[in-house]
Structure 1
Amino acid sequence: MNPGKDVHYRHLKNGEILLLRELRRRAVRGLAVDVPSLRVADMDDGGMGSLRFASTSSDPQYGQTLCEAWFKDADGVPVVVILNVDQNDELFELDSWKVDFTARRTLPTSSAQILDPPATME
């Protein structure tokens, strides 16, 4: 996201909340987050669904990856999701990448649909 552009933050959608909760649960270390108060901005990623979290930092930068998982999109193509924190250990991005670079169609509706890598997506 470009700091010079107007950024429009919004609440998380239900499927995004599910992804965030599952990734936090599976992460190697915990991260206290008030999910209802979170705000996100859609990233310019061709519709693959990546999100940037609103930050209290004036210049948030990538710090580290907490967890990675996969789910199948409606067309059966795998989507990898990665939860990243910034240099201050605050939520930074929920990165979403559809492996064929097309726009993501759906979000998972249950935690059973979210697989740990490496996973076979048959």
Structure 2
Amino acid sequence: MAERRQVRQEEITLAKHLISLGGLNPEEYQLAEMVDDYENAVMGSINFTPPEKAEYGGDIVRVVYKDSDDIPVVITLTKNVNNEILDMDFWKKDFSKLQTYPTPDKIAIFDQDMI
């Protein structure tokens, strides 16, 4: 597993917004200060929980974002079985590197027709 790093403010901002979009109160979820990058940070996916707490418990919300190269990116915020934030998973349609990190005003609730 990759070396854990400090969570960035833009990641916290996006995660809290996604929690809200999922109909939950962001104040009830403590986000980890240290995270792991997935895929060597190519698409932006991060894991908030240590391996011993990483059992998938379901999706909170799925949104879509158009990267600055106009390629759609699906972002899914998930929780573990303990109802803690598990990860924020990015999937870029063409599997290329994320160009610009999304901000809350640039995302929309996921609709299959958007990708």
TM, length-normalised to structure 1: 0.78
Which residue is equivalent to 2:13?
18
Give runs of aligned pairs for residues 4-83 of structure 1, distance below 5 A: 5=1, 7-30=2-25, 32-35=28-31, 37-44=32-39, 47-55=42-50, 58-83=52-77
In the alignment, residue 60 of structure 1 is paired with which amino acid? A
Answer 1 or 2: which has greater strand percent.
Answer: 2
Which residue is equivalent to 1:101?
95
> Does structure 1 retain, via aligned residues, the 8 Å contact 2:43–2:95?
yes
SS at 2:60 equivalent = strand
Q: Which runs of 4+ in 1 moved over 4 A?
A: none
In structure 2, what is the Cα distance between the partners aligned to 1:21 and 1:46?
20
Number of aligned residue pairs: give it. Answer: 113
Shift of residue 46, structure 1, vs aligned partner: 6.9
Shift of residue 61, structure 1, vs aligned partner: 1.1
In the alignment, residue 84 of structure 2 is paired with which amino acid? E
TM, length-normalised to structure 2: 0.82
Uncovered stretches (5+) of structure 1, i.e. residues with no partner = none
RMSD over aligned Cα atoms:
2.3
In structure 2, what is the Cα distance between the partners aligned to 1:58 and 1:119?
33
Q: Percent identity?
A: 28
Distance change (3 Å), C-alpha of 1:84 and 1:95:
same
SS at 2:52 equivalent = coil
In structure 2, what is the Cα distance between the partners aligned to 1:58 and 1:80?
26
Give runs of aligned pairs for residues 84-95 of structure 1, distance below 5 A: 84-95=78-89
